Amino acid sequence: MTRAADSQQPPRPPRPTTLAHRSTVYAPHGMIATSQPLATAAGLAVLQRGGNAIDAAVTAAAVLNVVEPPMTGIGGDMFALVWSANDHKLYGLNASGRSGSLMTRDALLAKGHATMPGESVEDVTVPGALSGWDALLRRFGTITLAQALAPATGCAADGFPVTPIIAAEWSAEVAKLRKDEGARATYLVADGRAPRAGEWFRNPDLARTFRLIAEQGTGALYGGELGRRIAERVQALGGYLTSDDLRDHRPEWVEPVAADFQGHRVWELPPNGQGVAALEMLRILEPYDLKALGHNSAPYLHLLIEAKKLAFADIARYVGEPSEMTLPASALLSDRYVASRRALIDPRRAADRPAPGKPLTASETIYLTVADSDGNIVSFINSLYDAFGSGVVVPGTGFALQDRGAGFTLEPGLPNTVAPRKRPLHTIIPAFVTRPDETGGHEPWLSFGVMGGSMQPQGHVQLLLNLIVFGMDLQEAIDAARFRHLEGRRVALEAPIVDSVRHALQALGHDVVVERGVTFGGAQAIMRLPRGWAAGSDPRKDGMAAGH
């Protein structure tokens, strides 16, 4: 084409951009989305070598233990939803640990606590993540745990350059890390600070721990020498774990729970997680003409915020360790119950603290999702609860112990009241969506998650509405501005939400707080296409989606 002819062509419209100027990623064979590029690369390499989605997910999770240590690791818990292409079925895994045998309400009250302590050795519960990684590989994987740990072991031994968002989160926890001998030695560099963005960081202790597990299996932690050292250190610092608590830990395969929304079936894990809150929110919202209200308009946000308050009031009262719940999670999703909750929403006024119907907490987390060429898909989440969990690192182990016990309550008589050998209410929730297929069954459509404690159910609902109601592209749905309801009438809005909407919400009685310091989650998602995959990764994190 000549230059003259070229000049006669109509001008191209500007390229549509998202918040981070990212496009949705498309790939023909397999896909992975994680919150850190090195983890994405490690998982993608597994797929390219012929491994399946489960192999890649565990490999990436282990690398994240190294490169994203404030958020995740074998000192925490994990959950997963796995779509098996062979079985054409969704499976759920709960690999959360229980409180120690010595953790009693009386013991905590005797120490002067009026509420559960936070970020303390007293909050350390059995770390279940490693048992979950192993269970996934044994049931659905094609590689061994030792093979899955190998890239992370090399990364910990050789080192890596720290990414910007993680560097900032790391730096914010320096005072906490200085309080513990093991944390100080493991996570602070020579002059007692956190590593900076781009600075090389090594964790040789974690590399040794991974090599020990590769040689001895999960028994090294659950009943072996590593577990004994953890229990002894926790007790010496005033915590409640015993070696027997670690030895007796088992992950649990569970039946996912679901709710239908506008032709889609949304799946979450059952309690002890908070996934039922997302489903209850969707059920409350379904009859409304949300599209007519307008995306992120004041009436739209008001409705979502009020639905969130009702759902969270219910999980605070009714959800916890399943064996101690007085009603099943499905009862919170019944037509009659949902209608009774929906009737409490006043379109003209914000509620303060709604009571639970008749018949939560912060989190530092990673979420990742993987799909392979055979159609297997995994929705995977792993967390330490707070940044670096309890702040306790047993010297020489290289990983922080979670403080998930802070998720209990000291209020007596509830499913989530603290007690020995009990699982607390969990904030971390992987999600999955299916749609009807031609046979009358369901086929996979979306695997996704949104990190960030109580933000997670709110984030699940907002992302899904962006896709299903407003027809957004996958990356656009992830990037779109979010709200986060905090407590009472306090709500934070991301900066792209305009002042007129903020003023309108304030007129309805909401206390719109300055969003500085509030996190709005970090999403990863993979969508199944008629042929191939689409994926998105949240610009609020350092991560990326990649495929082959």
User: Could you tell me the CA-to-CA distances from 410 to 44, 119, 234, 486 in Å, in that order?
Assistant: 44, 16, 21, 21
462 by DSSP, 3-state: which?
Answer: helix
SS (H, E, C) 306-335: HHHHHHHHHHHHHCCCHHHCCCCHHHHHCH
464 by DSSP, 3-state: which?
Answer: helix
Residue reference for tokens 């209410």: 425
Could you tell me the domains of the chain?
Answer: 25-252+365-407 (no CATH), 254-362+451-547 (1.10.246.130)
Residues 6+ apart with CB under 8 A from 365: 71, 72, 381, 382, 383, 384, 427, 428, 451, 452, 453, 456
Q: How far apart are CA 68 and CA 152, in angstroms?
A: 11
Residue 408 DSSP code: S
Which residues of the chain fall below pLDDT 50? Answer: 1-20, 358-362
Nearest alpha-carbon partner for 308 in 339, 336, 269, 282: 282
Return the pLDDT at 187: 98
Amino acid at 99: S
Sequence-ordered strand ranges (E) for 356-437: 364-371, 377-385, 431-436
Q: How far apart are CA 83 and CA 54, in angstroms?
A: 10
User: Could you tell me the CA-to-CA distances from 27 to 32, 101, 480 in Å, in that order?
Assistant: 10, 48, 23
Q: Are 101 and 124 in contact (CB under 8 A)?
A: no
Q: How far apart are CA 175 and CA 188, in angstroms?
A: 10
Name the residues annotated as catalytic: 365
For the chain, first and last CA: distance in Å?
33
Return the pLDDT at 327: 75
Return phi, psi of residue 252, to 5°: -130, 125
Q: How far apart are CA 502 and CA 405, in angstroms?
A: 36
Return the pLDDT at 526: 98
155 by DSSP, 3-state: which?
Answer: helix
Pairing of strands 523-528, 533-537: antiparallel
In this structure, the number of other CB atoms found within 10 A of the CB of residue 423 comes to 27
Burial of 214 (0-12, 13-18, 19+ CB in 10 A): middle
Return the pLDDT at 452: 80
Q: Are 35 and 450 in contact (CB under 8 A)?
A: no
Q: How far apart are CA 342 and CA 288, in angstroms?
A: 10
Residues 6+ apart with CB under 8 A from 86: none
- Report H helices in 319-387: 335-342
This prediction's pTM: 0.91
Give the neighbor-by-neighbor strand order of the sheet with 511-513: 483-487, 490-493, 511-513
**CA–centroid distance for 209 within its chain:** 24
Return the pLDDT at 21: 67
